[in-house]
Structure 1
Amino acid sequence: MNSEKAVVALAALAQPSRLAIFRLLVVAGSDGMSVGKIGEELSLAGATLSFHMKELTHAGLIQGTQEGKFVYYRAQFAPMNELLAFLVEHCCDGSAEGCEVELPQCVEEAVDRRRAPARKRLARA
């Protein structure tokens, strides 16, 4: 993830309703949730919900799929992990020793993938 994509994702999450939608979909996991159920859970009107879903989709944080008569949305975990990895990539100068940031394993792996090319560039210098 680069700075531009991170800003788009963070901007999408920097609104209370969109943050609530995203968190609800994270809890729903791979099963996702129908638009109607999301609106019901968060007491959001259809037009308002549609606007927020579009913003989160544009940011790559959620994805909708048509399943019969319903559209189900799911959180996109890879971009979420990439965003978290981007935010903490240089935390504690890249050293886990003594660092107070505790990351889930999936995010630690994303951070390691981001750091690997930087280590190679430094080794060549």
Structure 2
Amino acid sequence: AVGTTIGLDRIVDCITELNLLPNLPKTKTKVLFANFGDKTVNQSLKLITELRNNNIASSFYPDNDKLSKQFKYADSLGIPFVAMIGTDESKNNQVTLKNMATGEQKTINQSNLLAQFV
């Protein structure tokens, strides 16, 4: 029996070296909701559900880490927006939306969040 191999590793190396792989986003998530603890989680989950029902990929940061760590996480995955519902936003039914590319933040009514993405 005679066999040959073309070396899959070598093909991948060549494709990478020639930069032939498309620049795909690291994630499809458009909005990451920051985790401020138990007091605001229900409002975040309600808005995540609304966004997802309108085909806007959204997720919730799993731990109650410092906000700077949550921003770094979003940035490392290429998530363009971070939504924040802290104590003040929760009391006023608002959400602060941070554009990760520009650093711009704006506070809006929770009922207007969907309109920011459609």
Q: Which has the larger radius of gyration?
A: 2
